[in-house]
Amino acid sequence: MLRSTFQTLSKRTFSSTSINPYKVAVLGASGGIGQPLSLLLKLNHNVTDLRLYDLRNAKGVATDLSHIPTNSTVKGFAPDQQQPDALRDTIKDSDLILIPAGVPRKPGMTRDDLFNINAGIVHDLAQTIAKEAPNSSILVISNPVNSTVPIVAEVLKEHNVYNPKKLFGVTTLDLIRSSRFLSEILKTDPTKEHVNVIGGHSGITIIPILSQLENCSTLSQEQKNELIHRIQFGGDEVVKAKDGAGSATLSMAYAGATFADAVMRGLNDEKNVVMSSFVDSPLFKNEGIDFFASKVTLGPNGVEKIHEFGKLNQHENEMLETCKETLKKNIEKGYTFVKNKK
């Protein structure tokens, strides 16, 4: 699944032939993620109209990217006197909206520590999306994803435009880290390693299911535990190394562009496009958990099918129980935030 996505993305990267014209908007486009993400989207030949929005420097980033000879137009939008309706103009008629707007972590912080600032940012962006672009596929990158996705859902519900098939929490970074970290241990080709990662996108809510992989049976329990921990806390590794200068940006841009490419291929009715994402899911709704990350098949209407995650071993079942407790609280925190805004 991931291999075909990697291959498709790299094969298509420098093609100048347009196959499917998609309008794509990036909100928070001048940031650490936003800039390289916009670059990768500029190189994707399915994107013909790229619109970049940020509180600062979006026009500069857009002008810079617009010189690259691929077939998309690029426009930058900033909420100033010249563009009072900048956000509306950015997202109008969009097929896809990617949201990396918000503050990143510093060492010692959890993703949940970002809630107070990012919840408001995502909430306000979602209000305009609900009014101006309710039919877009919305890809939420801003952390804490476990709470920001429910926030967007609640805002769309308030406007009676919620389409659960078109709202995605981007968890692709957990997948690409799993592929890379596992291949480092097994000394294999990372593009051929695919770990089923379920749950949410923060620490213990990230559950890599190693027991489903034949080649993991050669690993000792200690190696497996270390690998699980590294996948769960891969984000901390980057935050620590950047030492106050933010969190993952380049690998996240790659992950976001990979996921956006998959969503566009689904919209274009390509068959068997399967990616993991944090979506409105029936898997644990009866336990009050409305969102859960698992593999989904993407199609012309967004999520076509939510896959069961298969058999877990005892340790993974224990991880799932802990994950669910945290996830439930994270989701409710998002709901409460929107309720209190009314």
Ligand X SMILES: NC(=O)C1=CN([C@@H]2O[C@H](COP(=O)(O)OP(=O)(O)OC[C@H]3O[C@@H](n4cnc5c(N)ncnc54)[C@H](O)[C@@H]3O)[C@@H](O)[C@H]2O)C=CC1
29 annotated as a binding-site residue? yes
User: Closest CB to ligand OAA among 143 and 258?
Assistant: 143
Catalytic residue chosen out of the listed positions 201, 229, 307, 315 = 201
- Note whether 177 binds ligand X by CB under 6 A: no
Would you say 273 and 299 are in contact if contact means Cβ atoms under 8 Å apart? yes
- Note whether 34 binds ligand X by CB under 6 A: yes
Q: Are strands 291-299 and 273-280 parallel, antiparallel or unpaired?
A: antiparallel
Q: Among residues 45, 201, 230, 295, which is the contact residue for ligand X, using CB under 6 A?
A: 201
Q: Are strands 291-299 and 302-306 parallel, antiparallel or unpaired?
A: antiparallel
Burial 65-86, CB ≥16 within 10 A → b, else e: bbeeebebebbbbbeeeebeeb
Structure tokens at 297: 């098949």
| Residues in region 191-220 near ligand OAA by CB under 6 A | none
Active site residue 123: no
User: H-helix or E-strand containing 206?
Assistant: strand 206-208
105 annotated as a binding-site residue? yes
Structure tokens at 76: 């930058």
- Whole-angstrom Cα distance, residue 302 to residue 339? 27
State which residue has the least CB distance to ligand OAA.
235
- Note whether 182 binds ligand OAA by CB under 6 A: no
Structure tokens at 226: 């270390």
- Note whether 330 binds ligand X by CB under 6 A: no
- Note whether 199 binds ligand X by CB under 6 A: no
Find which of ligand X, ligand OAA, none residue 239 binds, CB within 5 to 8 Å per kind. ligand OAA
Name the residues that contact ligand X, by CB under 6 A: 27-28, 30-34, 53-56, 100-105, 114, 118, 121, 141-143, 145, 170, 173, 201, 246-249, 252
Binding residues for NAD(+): 28-34, 54, 118, 141-143, 252
